[in-house]
Amino acid sequence: MSSGLNRQGLASHLKLFFALSVALVMAGCGTTFKSVQTWEGPSAERNQIAILEKPGSVKVLSVNGRDMDNFLMDDIELNYELLPGQNTVVFTYKTIWAKKTVVEDGESKVTAIETDPQQVVINAQAGETYSFVVPEPQTQREAERLAENFQATIVNGNSRQVAQSTDYVAPKPQLPTLNASGQQVAPAPVQTQPAGASAANGANAPSGAATVSPAANGLPTLEGLKLLWERASTEEKKDFLRWAFQ
């Protein structure tokens, strides 16, 4: 009898411990991951940056080309720290609807409706707070229509509109060219950091420091060409081959 009671008591303690552990983890998720830094390098003070507030229905994929899609749960509210200047944010918008029909074993009981990737360019001001304003469909059919022609708005702390989203356009890779003397000229690097990145990533760097080209980083010319070729679109490859065999 006492053995049975002991087992029941142990089971109760284990359940309580598990519940407390889950609560602590959820609390940690709500605080530790509440704010996300969007640039590489040291952190910055609040008065040096802007904040972008994201609702649970929005999933941020990247900021200025840097991948942000690294959270186990993408339907939580998060704040993204932005450096002053232009910041390009790529995101999707998703709503979830319960299925009204009978579902089979193993079949999902909900339907997720997600937009194609969108992008918005925010001219961030230090100390400002921005937030998404997104449509709130009342029915699944309305959500499906919105997903086909979606647009989100970004407002500042005074609820003033500062930007609107558009369909995401992936940056096209640039193939190397030849100058007048026949020497290879590397394509100009694409800037993926906002103007304020230099302040957070080393404002004390010497003003006369030389810019390091991709070739100077140790990437052989042949390997660089292979990489550019892999990233080029079909039309770009055709244009390059036509030029090469003229």
Regions of the chain with pLDDT less than 70: 1-33, 70-74, 174-227, 242-246
* Alpha carbon distances (Å) from 191 to 35, 67, 79, 170: 24, 15, 23, 14
Name the one residue in this structure whose structure tokens are 């990489």: 227
pLDDT tens digits, residue range 46-77?
A: 999 999 999 999 999 999 999 987 665 667 88
Q: What's the chain's average pLDDT?
A: 75
pLDDT (0 to 100) of residue 166: 96
pLDDT (0 to 100) of residue 228: 72
| CA nearest to 200, candidates 51, 46, 33, 78 | 46
pLDDT (0 to 100) of residue 77: 87
